[in-house]
């Protein structure tokens, strides 16, 4: 069984994000970058499935600039067998990413596609769902536990009311949540081995995918600092403030 894993290069989760002075986006120059944490969980799960003998080949895919090769080498060091970089210097929005992954999946023919439920930079939480719709495959989102059986996979997912278990026939798309696993520490020998593993570079044009942005970003700004709370003597005082200051009721 082949598995395709999507990974994204993002600002490291430990870095305090800063907005560019012109408000055009988030500052990434001279900022530590790393693999999206949810995607790291996706790679770890694929590697664990291979160690159990359920998976024969893991392909890691990333979309971005040449710098994304570093993220793919991390996936290879974790245990992926090969990697594909779809090179692009422009912003890749969720639908474009889903179309690229669909095209690669149709060529590579994986039985399972695993990706993080969302990227911590955009927080869109859309690519997995869009990809499943484009492929016409069943999907299991926010997975916290996977159990593969002969004809499919049982996906336990977290919902507002607790846990929900779905059974998906293969091929399927799965997005990972934090509680699915804890990614392994990458050893130095595996980092060295990763440099010898195949990493193909292609473009969206070669895949015949239109990546033209459909949404225009107007401005990016830091949220206002939270003001200190105020203790009120009565419900009447609260209602008065909601009317006169917050103006959320009339």
Neighbours of 122 (CB within 10 A): 17
Say yes or no to pLDDT of 229 above 80: yes
Say yes or no to pLDDT of 92 above 80: yes
Say yes or no to pLDDT of 245 above 90: no
Say yes or no to pLDDT of 31 above 90: no
How buried is 141 (Cβ within 10 angstroms: 0-12 exposed, 13-18 middle, 19+ buried)? buried
The rounded distance, in Å, linking the Cα atoms of 121 and 178 is: 16
Contacts (Cβ under 8 Å, ≥6 apart) of 77 = 186, 190, 191, 193, 194
At 48, is the secondary structure helix, strand, or coil?
helix
Domains in the chain with CATH codes: 2-246 (3.40.50.620)
**Average of per-residue pLDDT across 150-154:** 87
Residue-wise pLDDT for 157-172, tens only, equals: 988 888 999 999 999 9
**Average of per-residue pLDDT across 18-22:** 83
Percent above pLDDT 70 for the chain? 100
Say yes or no to pLDDT of 53 above 80: yes
- Res 227: pLDDT: 81
- Res 192: pLDDT: 93
Residue-wise pLDDT for 211-228, tens only, equals: 888 888 888 888 888 888
**Average of per-residue pLDDT across 46-55:** 94
Say yes or no to pLDDT of 88 above 80: yes
Residue-wise pLDDT for 107-121, tens only, equals: 999 999 999 999 988
Residue-wise pLDDT for 125-147, tens only, equals: 999 999 999 999 999 999 999 99
Residue ranges of E strands in 7-151:
9-11, 33-35, 57-64, 82-87, 112-116, 139-149
- Res 90: pLDDT: 85
């Amino acid at each position: 069984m082949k598995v395709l894993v999507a990974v994204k290069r993002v600002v490291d989760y430990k870095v305090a994000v800063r907005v560019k002075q012109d408000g055009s986006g988030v500052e990434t120059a001279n900022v530590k970058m790393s693999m999206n944490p949810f995607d790291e969980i996706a790679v770890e799960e694929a590697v664990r499935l291979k160690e159990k003998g359920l998976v024969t080949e893991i392909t890691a895919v990333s979309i971005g600039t040449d710098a994304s090769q570093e993220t793919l080498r991390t996936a290879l060091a974790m245990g992926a067998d090969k990697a594909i970089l779809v090179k692009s210097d422009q912003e890749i929005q969720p639908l474009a990413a889903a179309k690229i992954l669909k095209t690669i999946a149709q060529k590579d023919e994986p039985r399972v596609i695993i990706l993080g439920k969302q990227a911590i930079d955009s927080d869109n939480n859309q690519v997995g769902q869009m990809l499943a719709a484009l492929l016409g495959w069943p999907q299991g989102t926010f997975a916290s536990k996977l159990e593969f059986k002969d004809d499919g996979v049982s996906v336990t997912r977290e919902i507002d009311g607790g846990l929900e278990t779905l059974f998906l026939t293969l091929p399927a798309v799965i997005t990972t949540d934090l509680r699915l696993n804890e990614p392994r520490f990458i050893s130095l020998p595996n980092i060295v081995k990763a440099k010898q593993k195949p990493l193909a570079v292609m473009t969206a044009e070669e895949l015949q995918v239109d990546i033209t942005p459909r949404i225009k970003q107007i401005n990016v700004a830091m949220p206002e600092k939270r003001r200190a709370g105020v203790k009120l003597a009565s419900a009447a005082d609260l209602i008065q403030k909601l009317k006169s200051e917050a103006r959320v009721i009339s």
